[in-house]
Amino acid sequence: MNGRVLNKPRDVQVLPIATGTMVVRSRSWTRLKFEIEYALQRGTTANTYLIQGAKTALIDPPGETFTEIFLQELQQRLDFQRLDYVVLGHVNPNRVATLKALLSLTGLSNITVVCSNPGAIALRNAWSGTADSDGPADQPLPKIQIMRGESTLDLGQGHQLQFIPTPSPRWPDSLCTYDPQTEILFSDKLFGAHVCGDQVFDEGWQALIEDRRYYYDCLMAPNARSVETALEKLTDLPVRLYAPGHGPIVRYGLIDLTRSYEKWNREQKIQETSVALLYASAYGNTATLGQAIARGITKAGVAVEAINCEVAAPEEIREAAEKCAGFIIGSPTLGGHMPTPVQTALGIVLATASKSKLAGVFGSYGWSGEAIDLIETKLQDAGYSFGFEPIRIKFKPTDATLQFCEEAGTDFAQSLKKAKKVREPRQSQPASSVEQAVGRIVGSLSVITAQRGDAKSAMLASWVSQATFTPPGLTIAVAKDRAIESLMHSGGRFALNVLAEGKHLGLMKHFLKPFGPGEDRFAGVETQEASNGSPILKDALAYLECRAESRMECGDHWLVYAVVENGSLLQPNALTAIHHRKSGTRY
């Protein structure tokens, strides 16, 4: 869980966690998907739970990546004649593929699938689309039992399951399951983290804070209103364990994680500026792009309200369009057209949102991108200005795609904040004596460079200080809205290039200029590759190859502690370039 990706095959780990309850952890030690929440590349676990009373329920089978090894493990540990229910916290095609393979096994044709009403609709729609799974193409739909807020399911021996609908724009069918016998909340998407290891529970939970915060920022922050409603529903339950769909089971840090979710939600709600992110997604690719854009917006200190046009009521869209400072619309292209829900949302926005609001357009497509062009044209003709060039992504996103979308979201948010400052100008005040004193803290001028896969970035930095002798370590303050911040999580590798006095102006000017989303920061700059893959500036005084060891949130910055793994002095006779400031309120 320290950011290292171990060279291990996918496997399954099974352990008892309470009376009559087991966890089946399908583990991938490498990145599972190209979605923004997996971008830290620490692997993941898909957690399935078995509750055995007089009857047996299986909660949340994994996706088809794990189907074969999951079923092999299950057959060794379970009398299949006793499997009565499969509970689905949410429905997606990958999970349906595993469900079909499970139901095709001998003796399991009478299983009842338990889900929410939106989940039942999604299951029926997805069933015919997974004909290439291990089950037969004409496999009949299983029996479905719909659970609502007041519903219970009695498994016997004290396991009387309760169900709590926790819908969100991304997962309108989301359903949490609570077992009063063991006081376990099976929370599906809530309280998870994408990390992989042998640790089943969250001993030393403080080490997981960064991963849980990143997971929240990617998946929950754009849906803060839905998360708040879900937490309110869970408030009165006496919970001993959170059993999420991904990552370690939450036992030791349960109270702190709950309070953190409440705190992070409050931080989203008090933001004065907000963006409405309206989208529909045929195969999940457009939703993935929207997540990356939302991540870039929220890291810049602007709130996002994500709205899935396929399930949102017109009044919800109208309200969001009225109150937001800017809006972004995402759409796939289906048969050369945008889906009907996006057409409806676009009409509401054109009739509701004032022309002074900043707009954005994005989408994915297979063979053509007419929907994106049509939305752009409609908004242009209506007189809206754009916060970034329309984003058109063919097929599935990559690391570079996600970086591009995140940077576009950050630029969009910064444009909104600048516009707000213009509308509400402040009287300039001379720096106070304290601010002047803080400004006298000096630091070496450096350029931080990093590359991960096909995503790379750089920034000029002067808030750098040596922190330790053994091991040699340093701290770097990184503003939350910096593009490179996503490459400097714990375990990330980067290079610190220290600039030389008298030879620093060219590099300083180059890395100070604004870069567009996805723009090559190193165009025109001589570099060579460090052993950790980061670019080294050939004109630097010295360079240090570093590994981020830990991070601490400090107001509007992250403080990164990094261990130096390698380095070299390139210009032995030169002096270090120093950054002198007059005020502690700016760089």
Q: Report pLDDT digits (tens) over 507-544.
A: 999 999 999 999 999 999 999 999 999 999 999 999 99
Look at residue 80 and tell me whether its pLDDT is greater than 70: no
11-267 and 433-579 agree in CATH topology: no
Half-sphere exposure of 348 (CA within 13 A, CB side): 22
Cα 551 from Cα 558, distance rounded (Å): 6
Contact 567, 542 (CB under 8 A): yes
* Dihedral pair phi/psi, residue 337, rounded to 5°: -135, 165
DSSP symbol at 229? H
Cα 89 from Cα 101, distance rounded (Å): 18
- Structure tokens that stand for 194 in this block: 């994408």
Closest residue by Cα to residue 376 from 330, 414, 417: 330
Q: Could you state, in order of their start, the residue ranges of all structural domains in the chain?
A: 11-267, 271-423, 433-579
**Average pLDDT value for the chain:** 93
What's the one-letter identity of residue 59? Answer: I
Residue-wise pLDDT for 427-447, tens only, equals: 667 889 998 999 999 999 999
Cα 141 from Cα 315, distance rounded (Å): 34
**Long-range Cβ contacts of 347-351 (<8 Å, 24+ apart):** 348/314, 348/317, 348/318, 348/321, 349/278, 349/317, 349/321, 350/378, 350/379, 350/382
Cα 539 from Cα 525, distance rounded (Å): 9
State the architecture of 11-267 in CATH terms. 4-Layer Sandwich (3.60)
- Residue 5 — pLDDT band, cuts 50, 70, 90? very low
- Residue 208 — pLDDT band, cuts 50, 70, 90? very high
DSSP string spanning 78-94?
--GGGEEEEE-SS--HH
CATH topology of domain 271-423: Rossmann fold (3.40.50)
Look at residue 547 and tell me whether its pLDDT is greater than 50: yes
Mean pLDDT value across residues 218-243: 96
Mean pLDDT value across residues 420-424: 76
Pairing of strands 542-554, 455-461: unpaired
Domain 433-579: CATH superfamily, name plus number: Electron Transport, Fmn-binding Protein; Chain A (2.30.110.10)
Closest residue by Cα to residue 212 from 464, 571, 551: 551
Residue-wise pLDDT for 295-348, tens only, equals: 999 999 999 999 999 999 999 999 999 999 999 999 999 988 999 999 999 999
How confident is the model at residue 4, as a pLDDT?
Answer: 43
